[in-house]
Structure formats: C-alpha cells, structure tokens
Amino acid sequence: MAVVAVSRLTKAYGKRPPSLIDVTLEIGEGVTGLLGPNGAGKSTLLMCVLGLMRDFHGDANVLGLDARRDRLEIRRRVGYMPESDSLLPNMTAVTSVRYLGQLTGMSRRHALRRAHECLHYVGLTEALYRPAEEFSTGMRQRLKLAQALVHDPDVLFLDEPVSGMDPQGREEFLALIRQLANDHGKHVVWSSHMLPDVQKVARQVLILDKGRLKGSFRLEDLHGATGRFDVEADGDATAFERAVVSRGFETVAAPVADDETGDTPALAEDGLPRFHRVVRVGGAEPTTALLAIGRDAGVRVRRVASVVENLEDVFHRLLDGRPAPDAGPASDAASGSDRLSESHADRRAPTPPRTDGPDGRLFP
Amino acid sequence: MTLYTRGYRRHEDGFQARTLRFGPIFVQGYREAVRSKAFRRLMSLFTVILIVHCMMYYFNPDQFVRRLSGVARPGGASSAETLRASVASLLGALRWLSPLLVLFVGSGLVADDLRARALPLYLVRPITPADYWLGKWLIPAAVLGVAVLLPLLVLLVFGVMLEPSDQVVAFAGEQGRVALAILAAYAACAVAYGSLVVLLSTVAGRRTPALVLGAAAIYGAPVIVSLALGASVIGRHGHPAAATTGLLDLVKTIWLPMDVASIFHAVSGAPIEPDDVAAMPDPWSAFGMLVLLFLLAAFVVIRRARTVEVVA
C-alpha cells in the first residue's frame, strides 16, 4: 500500500513560478528519503500532503485519506518534525510533549504518560522537567522527535531531522529511526540534504529539484550491478583493452595511473605492470567473460569488482540532468527518463571507481 | 502503578472525540496565566479593592443607620440604589485596572508562539487556525472572569446577604437588572480587552511591544477623545452633554473602558460615574466597536496562522 500517493501535483505561491510542477509519486512503506537542494519543493510537498496547503492542483493522499478533505484526520495519524527550531515557549520538555498530545486528541492522563515514555525513548530522561528553551541543538531535535511521536502516528515526516547534531547524536538518532521503522512499523519520510544519513536509513529515495521529481528508486537497487566492473590485472593494458573490444565490450572509465591509486604497487612481484580498467560487460556470467578476456590478452586478472553507485553519485547525476547511457537493474527503478547507471565516478577521473570492496576480490 | 514503560510502546488508549478542539489551548494558556506573578500581584490588588468596596457598602451611612435602627434615614438612598452605586464604583475601578492585568498575562499569548516559531507545532495537529484563535482569545476572557466578573458578583451577593433575612429573596429578585448589567459589562471587557491583547500580540510579534502598544491604546485613548470632545464643545455645542452624536460618537468608541461603561449604563440604567456621560459613546456605537474589534482580531490571528500553515 502506498503510504503517500501524489498525482499530478502542482503548487504555486501567488504569481511566482510553481514550487511543484506536475509531480506524481508514491511513497511506500518503511523509510523514504526525500532529497533535493534548497528550493527543490520538499517542504512544499510535505505541506501539501499534510493538508497545510489546500490550494494546489492535483491529488494528494496519505494513508488513503485525501489531503484536502481529511486533513485533520491525516494530522492525527502523522507526526511532523519541522526543520525550524520550533519550541513551545515557557514549557518544560514533558509539558510541551504532553500538551501536543492533548492537541491531537489524547486525554491529559494518557498524554502525560506518553510524554514520559517518548522522552525516555528519545534519550531525554535527564531533561524531562527542564525548560526546553535551555536545550542544546541535539536535545531540541530529540524533543521534536518526541513531540512527533507522542500520539503514536503511523507516518513520520521528518524535515532535516539531524541538522546541527554531533556525530554520536546523529548515529543514535539514525538508530532510533531505523528501530521505529523496522521494529514498530512506522513509515518515515525523511526530507534532507544529508545524503549519507539518508543512505543509512532509507529504503526508497525520491529526488526533487526545481519543483520536479528527478528520480525515484530503491536504495537496494543502487547496490546491484551496474554492468560495469573494475578490473585489476598484471600485464599489458593495451592488449587487455584490445581483447575487451574484440569481445564486443568496452572500457568506460579513464585508466587510472597505477601510482595514483595509492594502494596498488606499480609493478607486480614478478615485474609485470599492474593496471586498472573499468569495463562494461554484458551477459549472465560477466566475471567469467572478464577472466576469458584476461586469458586472451595474456594478462593476469587479480581482481574483478562490480562498480556500484552510491547515493551521492546518483543525486548529482540526476540534478545535473545527465542521461544514463546504459541500463542496469538500478535503472529499472528510476522513474521517467531518469535512469541510474552512470557512475558519478566516471566524470571525476582519475578518481578510482567505487567498488564493492574486498568481497569482490578474486585473488588474495 | 507504572507511570511509564521504557522503550517504544504503541498508544492503545484511543483518542477523544473532541468537538472543542481549542480546549487544550485554552486550558494550558489559562493555567500559565493564573500562575504568573503579574496575575497574583494584580489579583491581590483587586481583592483589596473588592474588600474596600464591601466595607464602603457595609459602612454606607444610609444603610448602616437602617441596619442599626431598623428605620431608613429620611431622604437616604435605598439599599438597591446604594448597592448599584457600589457595583458601579467597583466596575469603575476594575475597567481601568483589568486591562493592565490582561496586558501583562496576555501580551505573549501569540507573540511568544511567533518568537519560538511554535505555530507549526500547533497547526500540524488536528486543529484549525480558528481553533487556535478561539483558544487564545478565551484565555484573557477567562482571566477577566476572575478579575472582573467574580468581584462584581461577590459584591452583589454581599449586598444581598446584608439584607434582613425575610427580605433577602425579594431584594435579590430586584437585583436582576444589576446582575445583567454586570454580565454585560464583563462580556464587554472580555471582548474589548481580550480581542485587543490578542490582536496586538499577533501584530507586534513580541511581548513587550504588544504590552506597550496595548497600554497606549487603553490609557492614551482618553487624551484623544478629550481633545476631540473639547474641540467639538468649543466649536459647536454649548455643553459637553450635547456632543453625543455623529463622527464624535465614533471617536469616543476608541476609548474602550468608556465602551464598557456605556454598555453597563445601557443595561443597568445608571452610569458608572455621572461625569462619564458626556464622554460615553452611544451603546450601539460601543457595541459595534467591540464587535468590530473582535472580528478584526479574529481575522488577523487566523490569517497569521494560515500564513504559517502555508509557509511552515
């Protein structure tokens, strides 16, 4: 079931250019990252689905409820953690969480108990009765999460939830979100610029830019094969390239000089030159094919590793509007014409391409 | 009993089918207001004023002699007249002091939320901007209930209880119009001062400027009205009492305590102070002004909340 479904949503503020243009998307269960630069339309999208804006074109549904007609019911079933440093003035942590619980329709007694539970859960046990205005940035973020959780919502909308937090606090926060999603069945929409954080917790990613949906994909697809392999071998690199071409494949990345890799000696133990090439290979048995190419070229293939993209690669590629030249499993999940295949590393040569690490090593 | 459990627990106690969604806003705000130092100190002052008025009524020469001798003084005022005068006198003091109380406890009602950027926290809950407005407006209205309505009713009941036992019920029955006037005056105070303070709190966006603006509006208006009244009297009328109609009547309505006096006068049939009559606007003008102020405050607060809704 789609947690959030948006169809042809367009929203403009007055006579300014639209903040969202004909956006159609579905947000599934689990944690979803909503990524985009400033002004991309992330917050506007959240406001529309929360029913805080009603003068938009198109349809928006949350948990099957219409964002215009059922906005109060939606707000009872979702928790929202705003990006701004919002605090209820002149209140202790427990009072503010209890108060917001009451505003959601909980009785005072139940809201007070939930406030204690939620504040304990987010790690503010020692600060229950301290005025929230005295809190540090990290504590405020935790307090905002407790406020969003107090009424036990089905969906959490988190707008830049870890901004300003220290690394340890950030990791703890990510662990909390993972736990909420995995153990307690919460659906989380995480709006952020912080790509590494999103990559750590999200299952699905949506990328917005200039009011348009640039891409939508599952993160697990990023880790799938892209059809490209980083080959480390000893021997004649030119012969290897010729063998690649003769088999109908191609070398897609600029060669990386051996002495620039930093971790590979320029020469093998037996004196052969060591080189890297990124090769695009098709077929069901790419590793076998590469080993055969190595045999044909008379080089010793030491390592074959599948080149994977990380979120940052895809993010930048989609924002740059660069087309994907080839199709791998990840690209199947991309929406529209945006496909995920070309590595961000490709346009940053001579940086070594990202690989799946030691697991991809063929030989010790 | 376990107050809480560690770890995350689902909320399985359900939600209240609440029709008065503004209720928690009002209750929380009212609790904070009555716990404030300003409220406690000013209420102490109001209590002293109430006690003084009770003593003045008790020791009023006409009533005191009648109670001692059982015979009314020749030419003396009746109990009802004296009680009405006492109630009017107490209202005369409270209509000036209660705005001060409302300004101290209410200037931050919306301004503090704006300063702390808390409005989005309200509006992502199942409440509307109108709920927010109503919850906030009811706070000064309830504070005025304690500060204005309660002392006036206490004085009225005190006066009734001083009557001989066999006349209490009959005397109480005769005070219906005064009781009605008290309720009308309270309603006028609540609408006038409550709306003003919430309006200024929203417009100013900060507590102190809202307080200063409110004080200027309440305590500066007499100067403007007096100047307008004086100019009108000098220019066209021979006596201040003649200056009761036209544009001047509308100018008078900006003097909110006088609007309260006008409404009390219209319902009770007696002025708070005889000297006030020339400065009092027509009751309908006063009523119109208060309704306008209420609607303006509602419009501004709801619009502000809707703006936050949109750009949150």
Residues A259, A153, single domain; the answer is: no
Strands A65-66, A212-218: parallel, antiparallel or unpaired by DSSP?
A: unpaired
Nearest chain A residue to B27 by CA distance is A99
Cis ω on the peptide bond leading into residue A350 (within 30° of 0)? yes
Residues A196, A212, single domain; the answer is: yes
The domain that holds A296 is classified in CATH as 3.30.70
The answer to the question of residue B1 being in a domain is no
A240 touches chain B (CB under 8 A): no
Which region holds residue A357: left if phi is over 0, alpha if psi is between -120 and 50, else beta?
left
Listing DSSP states for A204-220 in one string gives EEEEEETTEEEEEEEHH
CA A170/CA A162 separation, integer angstroms: 6
The answer to the question of residue B137 being in a domain is yes
> How far B94 CA lies from chain A's nearest CA (Å)?
29
Mean pLDDT of chain B: 86
Q: Taking residues A20-32, what's their average pLDDT?
A: 89
The answer to the question of residue B70 being in a domain is no
Q: Please report the pLDDT score of residue A228 as a whole number.
A: 79
Residues A216, A244, single domain; the answer is: no
- Condensed to tens digits (0 to 9), the pLDDT of residues B251-296 reads 888 889 989 999 998 998 877 777 777 778 889 999 999 999 999 9
The answer to the question of residue B15 being in a domain is no
The answer to the question of residue A264 being in a domain is yes
The SS3 call for residue A185 is coil
The answer to the question of residue A316 being in a domain is no
Residues A214, A244, single domain; the answer is: no
- Condensed to tens digits (0 to 9), the pLDDT of residues A122-137 reads 989 888 999 988 999 8
The answer to the question of residue A237 being in a domain is yes
Q: Please report the pLDDT score of residue B113 as a whole number.
A: 92
Q: Please report the pLDDT score of residue A44 as a whole number.
A: 86
The interface pTM score, or ipTM, of the predicted complex is 0.85
Q: Please report the pLDDT score of residue B235 as a whole number.
A: 66
Q: Do A103 and B24 touch (CB under 8 A)?
A: yes
Residues A237, A163, single domain; the answer is: no
**Share of residues in chain A with pLDDT > 70 (%):** 81
Given A187, A222, A257, the domain boundary residue is: A222
Residues A199, A238, single domain; the answer is: no
Question: Chain A residues with CB inside 8 Å of B127's CB?
Answer: 72, 103
What residue ranges in A210-268 does DSSP mark as E strands? 212-218, 228-234, 250-251
The answer to the question of residue B17 being in a domain is no
- Of the candidates A90, A100, A184, the beta carbon closest to that of B121 is on A100
Given A222, A257, A284, the domain boundary residue is: A222
Q: Please report the pLDDT score of residue B166 as a whole number.
A: 83
Nearest chain A residue to B3 by CA distance is A113
Torsion sign, CA atoms B206, B208, B209, B214: positive
Which of A34-48, A56-70, A220-234, B202-216 has the largest mean confidence?
A: B202-216
Question: Chain A residues with CB inside 8 Å of B126's CB?
Answer: 72-73, 75-76, 103-105
pLDDT confidence band for A102 (50 / 70 / 90): very high
Residue A319 has pLDDT above 50, yes or no: yes
Given A177, A196, A222, the domain boundary residue is: A222
pLDDT confidence band for B204 (50 / 70 / 90): very high
Range of the domain at B155: 23-65+76-311
Q: Please report the pLDDT score of residue A337 as a whole number.
A: 30
Q: Do A116 and B4 touch (CB under 8 A)?
A: yes
Nearest chain B residue to A79 by CA distance is B124
Q: Please report the pLDDT score of residue B270 as a whole number.
A: 75
CA A127/CA A230 separation, integer angstroms: 51
Range of the domain at A351: 228-307+343-360
Closest CA to B124 of A82, A190, A90, A43: A82
The domain that holds A190 is classified in CATH as 3.40.50.300
Q: Taking residues B151-175, what's their average pLDDT?
A: 89
The answer to the question of residue A147 being in a domain is yes
Residues A294, A257, single domain; the answer is: yes
Label residue A315 exposed, middle or buried (CB < 10 Å: 0-12, 13-18, 19+): buried
The answer to the question of residue B282 being in a domain is yes
Please, which residues 299-338 of chain A have a Cβ atom closer than 8 Å to chain B? Answer: none
Residues A45, A129, single domain; the answer is: yes
Number of structural domains (chain A) is 2
- Of the candidates A78, A89, A103, the beta carbon closest to that of B116 is on A89
> How far B14 CA lies from chain A's nearest CA (Å)?
7
Number of structural domains (chain B) is 1
Residue type, B147: A
Residue A349 has pLDDT above 70, yes or no: no
pLDDT confidence band for A354 (50 / 70 / 90): very low
**Are A3 and A172 spatial neighbours (Cβ–Cβ below 8 Å)?**
no
Q: Taking residues A76-94, what's their average pLDDT?
A: 88
The residue assigned the tokens 């903040």 is: A19
Residue type, B35: R
Q: Tell me the C-alpha to C-alpha distance, in Å, between residue A205 and each of A36, A307, B239.
A: 10, 20, 80
Q: Please report the pLDDT score of residue B288 as a whole number.
A: 94
Question: Chain B residues with CB inside 8 Å of A87's CB?
Answer: 116-118, 121
Q: Which range has the worst mean pLDDT, A25-29, B7-11, B34-38?
A: B7-11
**Are A90 and A137 spatial neighbours (Cβ–Cβ below 8 Å)?**
no
- Condensed to tens digits (0 to 9), the pLDDT of residues A179-224 reads 899 888 899 999 888 888 888 888 888 988 888 888 888 877 765 5
Residues A132, A173, single domain; the answer is: yes
- Condensed to tens digits (0 to 9), the pLDDT of residues B93-129 reads 998 899 999 999 999 999 999 998 888 889 889 999 9
Residues A174, A248, single domain; the answer is: no
CA B292/CA A118 separation, integer angstroms: 44
Q: Tell me the C-alpha to C-alpha distance, in Å, between residue A84 and each of A358, B60, B121, B123, B132.
A: 42, 62, 10, 14, 20
Of residues B143 and A48, which shows the higher confidence score?
A: B143
pLDDT confidence band for B20 (50 / 70 / 90): confident
Q: Tell me the C-alpha to C-alpha distance, in Å, between residue B300 and each of A37, B132, B293.
A: 34, 12, 10
Residues A123, A256, single domain; the answer is: no
Residues A72, A188, single domain; the answer is: yes
Of residues A307 and A155, which shows the higher confidence score?
A: A155
Residue B64 has pLDDT above 50, yes or no: yes
